[in-house]
Amino acid sequence: MAESFFALPAADRKEALAVAASKSGRPIHILEKDVWVVWILSALFRSPFAQYLIFKGGTSLSKVYRAIDRFSEDIDVTHDIRSIAPDLVKDAGPDALPASRSQAAKWRGLIEERLAKWLNDEVLPYIQSCLEEEKLAAKLRIEKGESIYIEYEAQVSGYDYVGPYVKIEFGGRSTGEPTINVSVSCDAAEYLSDVTFPRTDVRVMRVERTAWEKMTAIHVFCLQGNIKDQLARHWSDTVRLDAAGHIETAINARDIAQRVADHKSIFFIEKDAQGNRIDYFSAINGGLVLVPQGDVLKLLEADYGKMVEGRLFLRDPEPFKLVVERCADIQRRANAIGAAANR
């Protein structure tokens, strides 16, 4: 009979991961962190508040859609705004958007307060109880009222670019729709039939919306000229989404593009390098920018190099130059469709 991974003695867990690493060719510490990612998803989506959660972001692209070929370490979760702020959205329409900028500012403040309180009063104690129930060694902390860090006791070495912790970043300003329901499992599971790994069913944001959220995020980074560490993943993910056919579907999904622009224009107000407000509607209607210029491009290349060195990719990564060329092609195609739709 198969044994549960977390019920194994520490030495046996390490040996199991080593076997999976040998068979898969993947770094052992990445496989260990992946187990924790799925365990946390399992805890969240069997919780009393699971019905209000939507899994999204890069990790969903990796774990659910298998659309990207890199390890994504953080968990992005939306708490449906209709649950966290039912009093605010009762007359706000299907996408639960405020009617004005002044109303949006009020909503942002109230939602931030409620989200922080919910994390502290409900989510943190709940995850702690799950850890204690399974006798797992990990420490919890909340950061900025919107993220929970689970710092686990690593059984293996090799952590550098990827640390022995999982960050869950929560949002509460969206419905998260459209969504689908799917199952998620650990990457090591297929290599070890005699060990039972965590698995779970999740409600996940549809890939077309995640694609537009990534592309509009890149648009902002390019216009701001501000490339920080660990941002190169967005460019890499977009190229892989395109290779899987998801970008073509997304750029033709005008309703979803409009939803993203509507939402970000209210809740994610950003300014460009000259101090001008960034126009998300321009991004979806022919003005999308996916390729930074000059020194900013060099910073992005350096960050991409760190991803390669950290062995986050599941196969040999594409040269950075090719990533940029493909992003330029996506930009051209998206702008052609966006401009035509806006005529």
Based on the domain organization, do 18 and 115 belong to the same domain?
A: yes
Share of the chain above pLDDT 90, in %: 71
Please check the confidence at residue 70 and state whether its pLDDT lies above 70: yes
Please check the confidence at residue 120 and state whether its pLDDT lies above 80: yes
Based on the domain organization, do 85 and 179 belong to the same domain?
A: yes
The residue ranges of DSSP E strands in the chain, in sequence order, are 3-4, 53-56, 75-79, 138-143, 147-152, 165-171, 179-185, 195-196, 199-205
pLDDT at residue 93, as a whole number: 67
Based on the domain organization, do 194 and 229 belong to the same domain?
A: no
What is the pLDDT averaged over residues 116-145?
Answer: 96
What is the pLDDT averaged over residues 165-172?
Answer: 94
What is the pLDDT averaged over residues 152-180?
Answer: 87
Least-confidence region, from 63-77, 104-118, 238-252: 63-77
Please check the confidence at residue 315 and state whether its pLDDT lies above 90: no
Please check the confidence at residue 28 and state whether its pLDDT lies above 70: yes
Q: Could you report the per-residue pLDDT of 234-244, keeping only the tens digit for each?
A: 999 999 999 99
Based on the domain organization, do 69 and 199 belong to the same domain?
A: yes
Q: Could you report the per-residue pLDDT of 250-291, keeping only the tens digit for each?
A: 999 999 999 999 999 988 999 999 999 999 999 999 999 999
pLDDT at residue 73, as a whole number: 78
Based on the domain organization, do 72 and 104 belong to the same domain?
A: yes
Last residue of a domain, one of 156, 184, 205: 205
pLDDT at residue 1, as a whole number: 61
**How many separate domains does the chain show?**
2
pLDDT at residue 118, as a whole number: 96
Strand partners, 76: 56, 169
pLDDT at residue 180, as a whole number: 95
CA-based diameter of the chain, in Å? Answer: 64
Share of the chain above pLDDT 70, in %: 98
- Between 135 and 342, the more confident residue is 135
Burial profile 258-268: b = 16 or more Cβ within 10 angstroms, e = fewer = bbbbebbbbbb
Phi, psi angle pair for 151, to nearest 5°: -95, 105
Band the pLDDT of 105: cuts 50, 70, 90: confident
Instruction: Answer yes or no: are the C-beta atoms of 342 and 286 closer than 8 Å.
Output: yes
Pairing outcome for strands 147-152 and 138-143: antiparallel
Last residue of a domain, one of 173, 205, 237: 205
Q: Could you report the per-residue pLDDT of 172-201, keeping only the tens digit for each?
A: 988 888 999 999 999 999 999 999 999 999
Please check the confidence at residue 246 and state whether its pLDDT lies above 90: yes
pLDDT at residue 227, as a whole number: 77
Last residue of a domain, one of 186, 205, 224: 205
Based on the domain organization, do 73 and 183 belong to the same domain?
A: yes
Please check the confidence at residue 311 and state whether its pLDDT lies above 70: yes
What is the pLDDT averaged over residues 1-28?
Answer: 91
Nearest to 269, CA basis, from 257, 261, 277: 277
What's the mean pLDDT when you consider all of the chain? 91
Based on the domain organization, do 226 and 95 belong to the same domain?
A: no
Residues of the domain holding 7: 3-205
Based on the domain organization, do 176 and 227 belong to the same domain?
A: no
